[in-house]
Amino acid sequence: MRGKLNEGEEKPDAELREKLHAMESKVRKMRETRNNFNAQAKVSAEKRNSVQSQYKEHREKIELFIAEVRAMRAEIKSFKEKRNAIQSQMRDLISQIKGKRKDRTQKRSATAEYAELKQQVDSLEKRFETTSVGVNKEKEMVKKIKEFSKRIEELEPEVTKFKMVEVDMSDIDSAIKTLKAEADAAHNSMIEAVERLNAKTPEVDEAFAHRDFLKSEGDRFHTEFVELKEKANEVHAKIEELMVDVNKARDELKSVREERKSWLTDHNASVKKEMKTGAQSEEVAELLTNSLLSTGSITFGGLSNEDFVSKSKSKKSDKKKNMRRVDVSRRR
């Protein structure tokens, strides 16, 4: 049988339980801190997602602005090229009038060359149809018509691009006036396109500025989200480290309690065994039986046979007075 528990051992796990409760309390606080970080991270993520959604929608608006601006710039470029081509043609004509073309091989504008070649072909064809010339001269005219026509075909795509104004080269002064009017019209169209672009520019600039703002806000909220998640993860890692000690303390406390419970179980069993009567214990019953057979009397609880006789005499009950004393040692 195990010994008794000392007074100081009434709660042998008190210190361990106090240590465990302190660690569990710390874990609860750390979990609360971690959960707060996660909650804040969730808010930042929701804000980031909202801003990114706005950014995506706004980017589509930006793309429309870009397409519109490109179209305006293309229009400006087209009007400018047309104006420059007409002005080049006009300068060629002016040079012809003033006789200032010093180098006949100098490169001329496509529109001017095209107009001049067309004029020469028309003149040669008219002369060929209406005038009788010799065979050699006729061959020479046909050859020139073919050469000029070939060159006209080569120039036609470029001239068509600028929508060249056909003028009557027989009246150069009138042709120059016509070209100047067309050049001015192209220039005015270009200026109008530039003004439309300039009017659109503030709206486009504002759209780009808002795009940059949304991107900046999205990046800021994402950075907040990442930082908060890192903090939450750091706290979670510390919780896991502390939980190793908590589980160790729990196992130790469980072991102590199981040992205490086992001790109490064994102790109670021993006490119960010692308190058993003869009717309950075979060992005690055997001892009483042997005593009865050897002495002719039995002692219960420290009382002898004489003690029972003395007590019986002291009682005044009529019933017990009339009872005969039975000697259990007599045989039948």
CA-to-CA distance for 33 and 27, rounded, in angstroms?
A: 10
Number of CB atoms found within 10 A of residue 165's CB: 21
8-state DSSP, 308: H
Mean pLDDT of 47-76: 92
Burial class (CB in 10 A: 0-12, 13-18, 19+), 298: middle
pLDDT tens for residues 185-234?
Answer: 999 999 999 999 999 999 999 999 999 999 999 999 999 999 999 999 99
Instruction: Go through the chain and tell me how many residues it has.
Output: 332
The answer to whether the beta carbons of residues 261 and 2 sit under 8 Å apart is no
Q: pLDDT category, 99, cuts 50, 70, 90?
A: low
Average pLDDT, the chain: 76
Instruction: Output the pLDDT for position 282.
Output: 63
CA-to-CA distance for 76 and 133, rounded, in angstroms?
A: 51
Mean pLDDT of 74-87: 89
Characterize 240-261 residue by residue with b for buried, 16 or more Cβ atoms within 10 angstroms of its Cβ, and e for exposed: eeeeeebeebeeeeeeeeeebe
Domain assignments of the chain as residue spans, ordered by start: 23-105+172-235, 282-318
Is the pTM higher than 0.85? The answer reads: no
At the topology level, CATH places domain 23-105+172-235 in Helix Hairpins (1.10.287)
pLDDT tens for residues 124-149?
Answer: 777 767 776 667 777 787 888 888 88
pLDDT tens for residues 239-274?
Answer: 998 988 888 888 887 877 777 777 777 667 777 766
At 299, give phi and psi (nearest 5°).
Answer: -105, 125
Instruction: Name the residue with higher pLDDT: 8 or 209.
Output: 209
CA-to-CA distance for 71 and 330, rounded, in angstroms?
A: 140
CA-to-CA distance for 258 and 273, rounded, in angstroms?
A: 22
Mean pLDDT of 146-162: 74
Of 78, 85, 67, 61, nearest to 194 (Cα)? 78
Q: How far is CA 27 from the centre of its chain?
A: 29
